[in-house]
Amino acid sequence: MDFQYGKQYRDLYQKHWWWRAREAALVEFLRRTLQSNSQRNILDVGCGDGLFFDRLAEFGSVEGVEPDAHLISADGPHSSKIRVVPFDKEFLSSKKYGLLVMLDVLEHLEKPDEALDCAHSLLAMDGALLLTVPAFQSLWTNHDVINHHKIRYRRGTLFPLLEKAGFKVAESHYWYQWTVPAKFVIGAVQKVWPSQPDLPKIPPAWLNKILYGFTRLEQETVGAIGFPVGSTLMVYCVKG
pLDDT at 118: 96
**Stretch 25-30: mean pLDDT:** 97
- How many domains does the chain fold into? 1
Q: What is the mean pLDDT of the chain?
A: 94
Instruction: Say if CB 209 and CB 148 are below 8 A apart.
Output: no
Q: Does residue 232 have a pLDDT over 70?
A: yes
Q: Does residue 1 have a pLDDT over 80?
A: no
Reported as a single tens digit per residue, the pLDDT across 170-179 is 999 999 999 9
Q: Where are the beta strands (DSSP E) in 51-118?
A: 61-65, 82-83, 97-103
pLDDT at 198: 86
* Domain harbouring 112, CATH code: 3.40.50.150
Rounded Cα gap, residues 133 and 154, in angstroms: 8
Domain interval for residue 39: 3-239
pTM, two decimal places: 0.95
Contacts of 46 (CB under 8 A, 6+ apart): 65, 66, 67, 87, 102, 103, 104, 105, 108
Alpha helices in the chain (DSSP H): 3-7, 9-15, 17-33, 53-56, 112-122, 142-146, 155-164, 179-192, 205-220
